[in-house]
Amino acid sequence: MEEILPGIYENAGRIYTASADPGSSVYGERTVEEDGIEYREWDPRRSKMAALILKGFREPVIKKNSRILYLGAASGTTVSHLSDIAREGVIFAVEFAPDPFTSLINLAARRKNIIPIMGDARHLERYSPLLSSVGLLYQDVAQRDQSDIFLKNAGLVKGKGILMLKCRSVDVSAHPKKVAETEAAYLRKNGIRIRELIDLSPLEKDHYAVIIDIL
Ligand SMILES: C[S@@+](CC[C@H](N)C(=O)[O-])C[C@H]1O[C@@H](n2cnc3c(N)ncnc32)[C@H](O)[C@@H]1O
């Protein structure tokens, strides 16, 4: 295993995180043991963050002590890998659908750095009092108003932002690249500093990762 980013390892074209909860699988991912450490394969077809890394993204945005606000946590597939990396940090994981939230609670019960929050990311006033010193805003909500949701939440964070844009959720008939550029222009007009717009296809079709500095 070669460490390519803090807590993220690569071997033969696949990426892994070292499990914070050895012996348990979160979403049926493959595990590999090496030198007494259990590594969980990070599947780019199940997690846009894994796709982003496999597309060559090499910024160390997630570190051992990262404090992350994660919007659209679902049952915790990606959250579980962030939890492996940010061992001394915390992930405030917001999800509004009851079914995945139940699985997220079960995941959080096994790991000490996940705080599950049942809530709508459009109504941050309901969870913002729970947060402190957040340095990364990660959003993956697949909603038509995903840019507005990001704009609302950006004020809670100082550091970086990763917005996983699902272009088809904004406009199902327009070309995904055109949608991503229009959304990026809208975010910029509203004061967001975009550093990069990365096409996640073919791993995650019709998705773009927007990499943002939040000052
Ligand atoms: C594409 S899935 C997220 C997958 C997850 N990020 C992962 O990689 O493991 C989108 C999730 O966002 C949630 N969601 C959508 N709109 C939301 C909102 N306004 N507030 C909170 N969660 C929302 C959905 O219920 C769904 O579980």
In percent, the amount of the chain with pLDDT more than 70 equals 100
Tell me the residue range of the domain where 173 lies.
43-214
CATH number (domain holding residue 191): 3.40.50.150
Residue 192 has what pLDDT?
96
Best of 82, 96, 101 for a ligand 1 pocket test (most atoms within 8 Å of beta carbon): 96
Tokens of 82: 């962030």
Ligand 1 atom closest to residue 97's alpha carbon, by position in its atom list: 25
17 within domain boundaries: no
User: What are the pLDDT digits (tens) for 103-123?
Assistant: 999 999 999 999 999 999 999
147 within domain boundaries: yes
4 within domain boundaries: no
Alpha helices per DSSP H over the chain: 48-54, 77-85, 98-110, 146-154, 167-170, 176-189
Q: How far is the CA of 42 from the centre of ligand 1 (A)?
A: 19
133 within domain boundaries: yes
Residues in the chain, pLDDT under 70: none
Which residue in 197, 193, 195, 162 sits closest to 182, CA to CA? 197
Residue 158 has what pLDDT?
96
Which residues lie closer than 8 Å to 191 by C-beta, 6 or more apart? none
Q: Whose CA is nearest to atom 4 of ligand 1?
A: 74
Calculate the average pLDDT of the chain: 97
Residue 133 has what pLDDT?
93
Residue 56 has what pLDDT?
96
User: What are the pLDDT digits (tens) for 151-183?
Assistant: 999 999 999 999 999 999 999 999 999 999 999
13 within domain boundaries: no
33 within domain boundaries: no
Tokens of 184: 């990026």
47 within domain boundaries: yes
Best of 45, 75, 95 for a ligand 1 pocket test (most atoms within 8 Å of beta carbon): 95
Ligand 1: lining residues by beta carbon, under 6 Å: 47, 72, 74, 77-78, 94-97, 100, 120-122, 140-143
pTM beyond cutoff 0.85? yes
Q: How many domains does the chain have?
A: 1
71 within domain boundaries: yes
Residue 113 has what pLDDT?
98
Residue 20 has what pLDDT?
97
Q: Whose CA is nearest to atom 17 of ligand 1?
A: 141
